[in-house]
Amino acid sequence: MVRNNNSGIKEIARLSGVSIGTVDRVLHKRGRVSAETKKKVEEIATQIDYKPNIMAKYLATNKNHRIALLIPEPSQDEYWQQAYEGIESTLSKSEQQGVHVESYFYSLGDKKTFEKMANEILKNKPEGVILTPNFLDEGLIFYNQCMEASIPIIMFDTTIPDTQPLSFIGTNSFQSGMVAAELLTMTTHHSGKFAILHFDEELVNSPHMLDKEFGFINYINKECPDREYLVVVLNNEKHYYNDQIQKLLDKNEISGIFVSTSKAYQIGSYLQEKNIRNINLVGYDLTSKNIELLKSRYISFLINQNPRRQAEQSIQTFCDHIIFKKAVNSRILFPIDIVTSTSIQE
């Protein structure tokens, strides 16, 4: 039952009449090999379709690697808590592979904390950075600093326009907006307007928030141009959400609402309070408040961005890159995950 070892580096060495050291040198392009032997070895390698044994490779390399993680404070926000759970769940695996993750958190309400943490990371010179750049300008500065220091970056959840991270891991925001519009049109029984709601004025301009809106509008324009819609920004400072919602509903005949953040529950709880059943609501993310309202059907659909899985994928992609030197995909987009009251996993 012992594996037949006619496929390894040793076999290449035997067939090409050189030592395994030489084979290794040509395989890793470390030079110091005559053109002649190089050619021969490469020929044999392709001929026997050589695939390195990653387990052995890992074992022999046996290095430690440090990567830094920079995300919003998990305790501040359930979404980021879920993301961090994803990190934690792969931690033991990545540790075992010799990849150590150092976590840095910033506050969503304070750009300074982002800058502070970014600087700290730069000081510690990790081999890689995993980042969710909720502050675009500060994020771009940090991105450039990392590029200068040749530290590869993986971004997840959010990207910065015009950057080329090693990989972006997330969902297709534009498409998710289209799907939201589609779900609303499918479930809406009367012809009232659709409302696209934004919270947190300052984040409205973030690219993936805009993409969601554009996707939504794009769908409406293309598939049901008769449907009217309006874009509303709820003022976060006053916290008079309910008043603002009421005003919106009083002024307009609304049949469907699309909330482009994880705050659909704010609307849902209003609908619940007033027992409004003829307005369909689509939002994002499986946070506990959202789930509760999804179950009681004041939210019709939630689009699950799966921060957990995004985070796991980020770590894993970095491990693949750093220790197995695998080529990584520059964009890993998860399929749109539509969740309903009964499809949710308990």
Interface contacts to DNA, rule CB under 7 A? 3, 5, 8-10, 17-22, 24-25, 27-28, 31-34, 36-38, 50, 52-53, 56-57, 59-62
CA 133/CA 138 separation, integer angstroms: 8
Q: Which stretch binds a second copy (CB under 8 A): 77-85, 117-125, 153-161, 179-187?
A: 179-187
Rounded least distance, CB 321 to DNA, Å: 15
On whether the CB atoms of residues 292 and 274 are closer than 8 A, the answer is no
Residues 6+ apart with CB under 8 A from 170: 155, 156, 157, 158, 159, 208, 305, 310, 332, 333, 334
Reference 230, options 274, 198, 182, 264; nearest CA is 198
CB 121 within 8 A of CB 70: yes
Cβ 338 to a second copy shortest distance, Å: 4
Q: Which does 182 bind (CB under 5 to 8 A by kind): a second copy, DNA, none?
A: a second copy
Residue among 17 and 109 whose Cβ is closer to DNA: 17
- From 9-17, 27-35, 77-85, 183-191, give the range in contact with a second copy by CB under 8 A: 183-191
User: How far is it, in rounded angstroms, from Cα 122 to Cα 146?
Assistant: 7
As a whole number of angstroms, the distance between CA 328 and CA 318 comes to 9
Which of 30, 123, 189, 251 touches a second copy (CB under 8 A)?
Answer: 189
Decide if 38 contacts 26 (C-beta within 8 A): yes
For residue 101, what are the β-bridge partners? 67
- Element containing residue 176 per DSSP (H, E): helix 173-187
Nearer to DNA, 34 or 124 (CB): 34
Residue 32 binding partner per list a second copy, DNA, none, with a CB distance cut-off of 5 to 8 Å that depends on partner kind: DNA
Q: Which of residues 36, 46, 59, 275 is near a second copy by CB under 8 A?
A: 59
- String marking each residue 3-32 x if it binds a second copy according to CB under 8 A: xx----------------------------
Strands 99-106 and 337-339, sheet pairing: unpaired
Contacts to a second copy by CB under 8 A: 1-4, 51, 53-56, 58-59, 62-64, 92, 96-98, 175, 178-179, 182-183, 186-187, 189, 219, 300, 335-343, 345
